[in-house]
Amino acid sequence: MPVDTLTLTADRVLRPDGSLRPGAVSVAGGQIIALAEEAPADAVYLPGILAPGFVDLQLNGGIGIDLGATDVNSFQRVLARQPAAGVTSVLATFVSCPIERLFAAFDVARQVTSRPADVGARLVGVHVEGPFLAPAWRGAHEPSFLRAPDRRLIADLVEGCGDLFAIMTLAPELPAADECISALVDAGVVAAIGHSGADAATAEHAADLGARLVTHLFNAQIGLHHRRPGIVGQALTDPRLTVSIIADLEHVAPVAVRLAFRCKPGGVALITDAVAAAGLAPGRHTMPDGEVVVVEGEPPRRPDGTLAGSGLSLDQAVRNAVAVGVPVADALLAASTVPATVLGRTDIGQIAPGAHADLVWLDADLRPIQVWIAGTLILPNGRLPY
């Protein structure tokens, strides 16, 4: 092995197949170069769990900063907070907004990716949530920003934003949604369905066209009914569809979290959907997209009581899932390997030779102790240990 190799060993190492067992992970040049069953004598022993760095498919912002309406430095401040929660890769989420603002946000994101990651999570792309959403299921999205699906806008986004454009969420029942889903798939963008009152047949048709993700299952979509199973029923039974879940136990009840994991082994991605109000003190706050009320221990809400995203961290989502009965390995996979697989990425979200050396060491309570991004050790407070 190279002379600068670091080998970490733990009693429980999460492998891509979901098994948790003793192992040794060797790192050099920012990559994982070996995963072995037995550790060499000079390996660093980590009591607890060694897991892949977490991947958040839906991060809107935090500490008063909306990633879709900010500058490069503030954007990086939000990314710098993520390793404390075990997160090493992020999709910035831009919600429904004026189109010129959307392109401006992409320009900021592009500048962020051109700078060194420093101590923050890696920005791996952008999730565009809207504006092609069903008005009746818009949730906290501003209704004046919603618009009918438009393939030309998708073409403009693909041309102007390139590889940063990773996921787009839209309502599949809207006119011209079919051609938009096809355009996204053809461009290599993950087509996600959500904020929708679609029935099961429409959701199945979207999957036939290539949609592969259901955005925040159970939220902002028609509920499950035994004669009208809707988008939820299709999502829980269609192996082509991965579902993302906000497991703060407020957006989704514990039994519904268990239901999703039991119906879809390896098909659940934990997300935060954390918004600009995440991390702010209780009170009423003015955000770029309107006022939000923060109450301690509860998710942010609009003044009318509508849920407005979450204040969740991804490590807390893992702990919540485990607390309601999800096996530890399944919860960790849902925060790492599953979301990476949604993106078609094998270089993040897994402990395997050739992947980035993005790792999180967790204690017995599943709290991050230390995090490595591309082999660089970062302390949970987001600062380098020197």
What are the residue numbers of the active site? Answer: 273
Task: State how far the Cα of 169 lies from the Cα of 123, in Å rounded to an integer.
Answer: 19
Judge whether 75 and 38 are in contact, CB under 8 Å: no
Helix ranges restricted to H, 245-305: 254-263
How many other C-beta atoms lie within 10 A of the C-beta of residue 338? Answer: 24
Q: Compute the distance between CA of residue 43 and CA of residue 7 in angstroms, rounded to an integer.
A: 5
125 forms beta bridges with 91
Using the 8-state DSSP alphabet, how is residue 38 labeled? S
Contacts of 165 (CB under 8 A, 6+ apart): 106, 125, 126, 128, 157, 158, 187, 189
Whether the CB-CB separation of 268 and 245 falls below 8 Å is answered with yes
Strand, helix or coil for residue 327: coil
61-62 and 65-66: which strand pairing? antiparallel
Give the other-Cβ count within 10 Å of 289's Cβ.
21
Which ranges constitute the DSSP H helices of 72-129? Answer: 72-81, 99-113
Give dist(CA 353, CA 342) in Å, integer. 20
Closest to 165 (Cα-Cα) out of 92, 238, 75, 255 = 92
CA distance to 109, 160, 166, 188, 209, per residue, from 163 (Å):
11, 10, 7, 9, 21
Determine the Cα–Cα distance for residues 247 and 125; give it in Å rounded to an integer: 22
